[in-house]
Amino acid sequence: MSLKIVVLAKQVPDTRNVGKDAMKEDGTINRAALPAIFNPEDLNALEQALRLKEQHPGSTVTLLTMGPPRAAEIIREGMFRGADGGIVLTDRAFAGADTLATSYALSCAVRKIAQYDIIIGGRQAIDGDTAQVGPQIAEKLGLPQVTYAEEILSIVDGKATIKRRLERGVETVTCPIPLVVTVNGSADECRPRNARLIQKYKYAKSPSEKAECECTRLYDERDYLNIAEWSVNDVDADLNQVGMAGSPTKVKTVENVVFQAKESKRLDGTDAEIDELIQELIANHTIG
Amino acid sequence: MNNLIVYCEIEDGIIADVSLELLTKGRTLANQLNCQLEALVIGSHLDGVEKQLYPYGVDIVYTADDSRLYPYTSLPHTAIVCGLFREITPQVCLMGATSIGRDLGPRVSSTLHSGLTADCTSLEIGPHEDKKAGKTYENLLYQIRPAFGGNIVATIVNPDCRPQMATVREGVMKKEIYDEAYQGKVVKLDVGKYVQDTDFVVEIIDRQMEKSKANIKGAPIVVAGGYGMGSKEGFDMLFDLAAVLGGEVGASRAAVDAGYCEHERQIGQTGVTVRPKLYIACGISGQIQHIAGMQESSIIISINNDANAPINTIADYVITGNVEDVIPKLIKYYKKNSK
């Protein structure tokens, strides 16, 4: 049986390289100031989706992301690795959303996609580390969820068998489809870009990107190069439930933390110094 | 009504440490809020479980006891939590930031449309003013967490939605008995009232739980390595030093991400919080997200070839040098002096 697979992905600021202009005054992230990458665990999720596609001929993998128009970059990235296409959910009305408002908007987009057998996303994104959006989308769609997945072992007779990796062990569960799965970083890495797919999809563009070039004919002839872009109206979302307005949590303050500096003893690591240090630590019973 | 409730995890009849830590914190917050402290335990064979909870100052223990409720699955636990919360309308709900709490919390927050803050490192009570709306609030829960890779700390509030929900990782709060003789009461929930058969769609067909190999949370001495250790082999030296001193090995997120060390040894905001007598940081630069997980160590030694590594500012001893030179010397002089 072929499957309609939706992969939830997020373009995230590379939090390993954060500059001082990374935060705006209102406490939200200034994404424009940072390098943007495909959220690592979403790539693990994509790999699981691509394997299902291979095991179930005729299946399709559709990427869904929410963000600014430039998030089309990760849709293309996913297509280079084997996804069939994707949708960028983008609208100024979504700005400033917390996890609940985000999951509401994404769930509206999934409803518009309408046909889906399994929705797979990364466990969490590296810019927030919350792990909330997957379960919240599941709840909003009235679907069961399997979080912390390490491997989707099979989907047979409408039932998925999934291995989960928890803090202190592993669990194998079954769950009827449709369902939402979130995938751990401990799952297999995503396959690399495929040269043939890069050739095929390198001109894939969203409407915002196409607006900058004069090449409408190409996109009329080759529909697979069209990356969809949906607004708040396209997904029939309630404006009161998206963006800042739809977010129950508010950022009260944001601080750069400065830790209380101690007066440190400075050593250069000579034998005499280390000998003395060890004697001191033994004398004050820090080490036995 | 409008109390503070902790969702308590239970494994093999024992309440999880993280839940007891949250009850300890919850008791302090409840005293500030002048409300009662409640606990919710969902599982099977729960008779007598309240005895584990009362000493932490719990006033009401809700139990939902049914053989189908253990081990944890998402939908029935969500149904019970949400059903109960609609009746008792707690103002605050705390959960462990575990694979259970992080599965359940978002599902509950979505059902109840309440705000949830993940992985808080500090919880406080305070006022809030919304200047735009011209509204002021008293006694809100300040949910304080590092964000953005640990580079900033944000204080989050949920002004209008209840309960105000937060998850906290194991080891972040301290576990402390409130009163050995404390007495609360038990309220047994009618499971059938909250849960439907269709909630049991997820079936656990195999479950292998291991005892954690490393006990870095309770170790008196922690030898931690960072990206500066250079390789998995570099970590062997740390295991040698830890074995000699009678400690455990920990690691920074960068070292774990690079594959030098397993995740269960990760110290910091996305790992374990430790408070050992002695913390030896080897080749760790000191990202805030790491420091948040070890700054309460009694004595901190930093070994780094960068004299200006951020971690040095909180270290008691800063040894500027290469880890591969300094660590063997520590082992050598420990052996010499401990005899």
- Provide the token pair at A30: 């200034």
- Please write the tens of the pLDDT for every residue from A102-143: 999 999 999 999 999 999 999 999 888 899 999 999 999 999
Nearest to A253 by CA among B153, B76, B17, B291: B153
Indicate the residue of B99, B301, B333 with minimum beta-carbon distance to A167.
B99
Residue A259 clears pLDDT 70, i.e. is over it? no
- Write down the residue that tokens 């594959």 correspond to: B259
Confidence of residue A246 (pLDDT cuts 50, 70, 90): very high
**First vs last Cα of chain B: how many Å apart?**
62
Residue B5 clears pLDDT 80, i.e. is over it? yes
Confidence of residue A22 (pLDDT cuts 50, 70, 90): low
Q: Do A29 and B148 touch (CB under 8 A)?
A: yes
Query: Could you state, in order of their start, the residue ranges of all structural domains in chain B?
Result: 4-200, 221-337
- Provide the token pair at B300: 């901190």
- Compare A32 and B8 and report the one with higher pLDDT: B8
Q: What single-letter DSSP state applies at residue B79?
A: H
Q: Are A288 and B246 in contact (CB under 8 A)?
A: yes
- Write down the residue that tokens 């928890």 correspond to: A166
Q: Do B103 and A257 touch (CB under 8 A)?
A: no
Count of structural domains within chain A: 1
pLDDT score, position A254: 84
pLDDT score, position B165: 98
Q: Are A82 and A225 in contact (CB under 8 A)?
A: no
Angle formed at CA B104 by CA A157 and CA B22, multiple of 5 degrees: 155
d(Cα B234, Cα B230) in Å, to the nearest integer?
A: 6
Indicate the residue of A22, A262, A286 with minimum beta-carbon distance to B314.
A262
CB under 8 Å, gap of 24 or more: what pairs does B204-209 form? B204/A171, B204/A172, B204/A173, B204/B71, B204/B73, B205/A161, B205/A172, B205/A173, B205/A174, B206/A170, B206/A171, B206/A172, B207/A169, B207/A170, B207/A171, B207/A172, B207/B71, B208/A169, B208/A170, B208/A171, B209/A166, B209/A168, B209/A169, B209/B11
d(Cα B86, Cα B274) in Å, to the nearest integer?
A: 37
Q: Of A211-215, A280-284, B25-29, give the lowest mean pLDDT range.
A: A211-215
- Provide the token pair at A244: 């800042």
Domain span holding position A144? 4-246
- Mean of pLDDT values over B236-260: 93
- Mean of pLDDT values over B13-38: 97
Give the SS3 label for residue B45: coil
Residue A19 clears pLDDT 60, i.e. is over it? no
Give the SS3 label for residue B323: helix
Query: Is B4-200 CATH 3.40.50.620?
Result: yes
Residue A176 clears pLDDT 80, i.e. is over it? yes
Q: Which CATH architecture has domain B221-337?
A: 3-Layer(aba) Sandwich (3.40)
- Write down the residue that tokens 């606990």 correspond to: B39
d(Cα A64, Cα B239) in Å, to the nearest integer?
A: 44
Residue A266 clears pLDDT 80, i.e. is over it? yes
pLDDT score, position A108: 98
Q: Of A201-210, A258-267, B80-89, B96-105, give the lowest mean pLDDT range.
A: A258-267
Share of chain B above pLDDT 70, in %: 98
d(Cα B155, Cα B50) in Å, to the nearest integer?
A: 33
Q: Are B191 and B64 in contact (CB under 8 A)?
A: yes
d(Cα B11, Cα B16) in Å, to the nearest integer?
A: 7
Q: Do B152 and A247 touch (CB under 8 A)?
A: no
d(Cα B200, Cα B76) in Å, to the nearest integer?
A: 7
d(Cα A32, Cα A16) in Å, to the nearest integer?
A: 15
d(Cα A160, Cα A146) in Å, to the nearest integer?
A: 10
pLDDT score, position A16: 61
Q: Are B107 and A138 in contact (CB under 8 A)?
A: yes
Confidence of residue A242 (pLDDT cuts 50, 70, 90): very high
- Please write the tens of the pLDDT for every residue from B125-138: 999 999 888 999 99
Chain A interface, mutation test: which of B9, B11, B98, B102, most A Cβ atoms within 10 Å? B102
Share of chain A above pLDDT 70, in %: 92
Angle formed at CA A170 by CA A166 and CA A175, multiple of 5 degrees: 95
Indicate the residue of B103, B154, B318 with minimum beta-carbon distance to A264.
B318
For B73-209, list the strands marked E by DSSP: 92-96, 116-120, 122-130, 135-147, 152-157, 164-168, 185-188, 203-209
Nearest to A106 by CA among A164, A175, A45, A180: A180
Residues of A in contact with B333 (CB under 8 A): 271, 274-275, 277-279
User: Is A275 part of a structural domain of the chain?
Assistant: no
Domain of residue A202, CATH code: 3.40.50.620
Q: Do B107 and A135 touch (CB under 8 A)?
A: yes
Query: Searching chain B, which residue's CA lies closest to the CA of residue A247?
Result: B115
| Burial (CB count <10 Å: 0-12, 13-18, 19+), residue B122 | middle
Q: Are B106 and A131 in contact (CB under 8 A)?
A: yes
- Provide the token pair at B100: 């259970």
Residue B222 clears pLDDT 90, i.e. is over it? yes
pLDDT score, position A14: 80
Residues of B in contact with A98 (CB under 8 A): 115
pLDDT score, position A17: 60
For β-strands A145-156 and A179-183, DSSP reports them as parallel
- Please write the tens of the pLDDT for every residue from B177-197: 999 999 999 999 999 999 999
Residue A236 clears pLDDT 90, i.e. is over it? yes
User: Is A287 part of a structural domain of the chain?
Assistant: no
pLDDT score, position A26: 61
Q: What single-letter DSSP state applies at residue B190?
A: -
- Provide the token pair at A6: 């939706």
Nearest to B146 by CA among B136, B137, B155: B155
Residue A280 φ/ψ, nearest 5 degrees: -65, -45
A-B contacts at Cβ under 8 angstroms:
247
> Which one-letter amino acid corresponds to residue B167?
T
Nearest to A99 by CA among B93, B19, B165, B272: B165
Cα-based distances in Å from A272 to A267, B200, B277, B311, B325: 10, 66, 24, 24, 14
Exposure string over A79-113, b if 16+ CB within 10 A, otherwise e? bbbbbebbbbbbbebbebbbbbbbbbbbbbbbebb
Residue B67 clears pLDDT 60, i.e. is over it? yes
pLDDT score, position B213: 64
Q: Are B72 and B101 in contact (CB under 8 A)?
A: no
For β-strands A85-89 and A60-66, DSSP reports them as parallel
Q: Do A259 and B202 touch (CB under 8 A)?
A: no
For β-strands B221-225 and B248-251, DSSP reports them as parallel
- Mean of pLDDT values over B280-290: 90
